[in-house]
Structure 1
Amino acid sequence: MGEHGDSEFAVWSHANVAGVKLEQWLQANRDLNEADLVELFISVRDAAYSIINKKGATYYGIAVALARITKAILDDENAVLPLSVFQEGQYGVENVFIGQPAIVGAHGIVRPVNIPLNDAETQKMQASAKELQAIIDEAWKNPEFQAASKN
């Protein structure tokens, strides 16, 4: 959840394997540990950098995501998808779009899926929102951005 980038985070508190909470599964299956999960998360989070280094851009991934969202809208699927959702106090965050699951139907976002986060995850969501807001604030200082936003 969070920014699609460096400050995104995994919601491990709700992860499960075949219905078994991940924490319990890890205790019973010593093949993986928390360090492995961190490594897995980092490799997924940073995959875009590898793709950009090899192909120059990630537009195919963006196209696939857009096609999936479009299908959910056109077919009125009420599918749960990861999207940028406007925050109106969820997780202590307001007035910024940030990544979280949402139900998508014929008219777009039907409603966000507000996963209960633990304290550490809530702090990560708030930190991610602050990073996004800082990027937005910086963009607004750019005269080219200001001119383009008037059109």
Structure 2
Amino acid sequence: MLSTLRAYIVGEHGDSSVALWSSISVGGVPIHSFLERQQIAYEKQTLEKIHKEVVEGAYEVISLKGYTSWAIGYSVASLARAILRDQRSIHPVSVLAKGFYGIHGGEPFLSLPAQLGRSGVLGVTNVHLTEEEEKQLQKSAKTILELQAQLGI
């Protein structure tokens, strides 16, 4: 039997992205509970390694194929479907992050879980972040703000 996996990677699209382990679920069960029930041992370093492999996976695909257009096309189709059908479903999309999760100063646009419908982004979803995840997201925002400053925007 297949289970639905729900996971969010937020922040900057790249090296400072943040895996929201606290909100990942398998078949509706939080990942930490799922791993415990399955008696699968894990450590923080294991989760960090998985996230690093996800980030580096894109670089590997590009080096092997030269592009990642299938994933991009699939994502765009999913976003368009949510908007055109007014599904009001949650998708991680780039939004103005100022004021969310302790992000202040400047106008960083980051990937955050947002509800999409016929009018586009209906709002940012208030996903619970651990204190560590929130700090990582703020660091990701700082990365974007520094890049914006370098570019003069």
Distance in 2 separating the partners of 1:69 and 1:129: 23
1:39 aligns with 2:49: yes
Deviation at 1:17, TM superposition (A): 3.4
Question: Normalization by structure 2: what TM-score?
Answer: 0.81
Q: Deviations over 1:81-136 (max 9, x none)?
A: 11011123111114211011110001110111121212111100100000011112
Larger mean CA deviation between 32-41 and 61-70 belongs to 32-41
- How many residue pairs match? The answer is 141
Structure 1 residue runs of 4+, over 6 Å off? Answer: none
Question: Normalization by structure 1: what TM-score?
Answer: 0.82
In structure 1, runs of 5+ residues without a counterpart are 142-151
Distance in 2 separating the partners of 1:18 and 1:65: 21
In structure 2, runs of 5+ residues without a counterpart are 1-9
Which one has the bigger helix percentage?
Answer: 1
Distance in 1 separating the partners of 2:98 and 2:137: 13
Deviation at 1:29, TM superposition (A): 3.2
Aligned to 2:3: none
Q: Identity rate of aligned residues, in percent?
A: 33
1:100 aligns with 2:109: no
- Counterpart AA for 1:2: G
Q: 3-state DSSP class of the match of 2:128? A: coil
Q: Deviations over 1:16-52 (max 9, x none)?
A: 3344433333334333412432322221121110011
Q: Deviations over 1:40-90 (max 9, x none)?
A: 222112111001101222233222211211111111111111101112311
Aligned to 1:138: 150
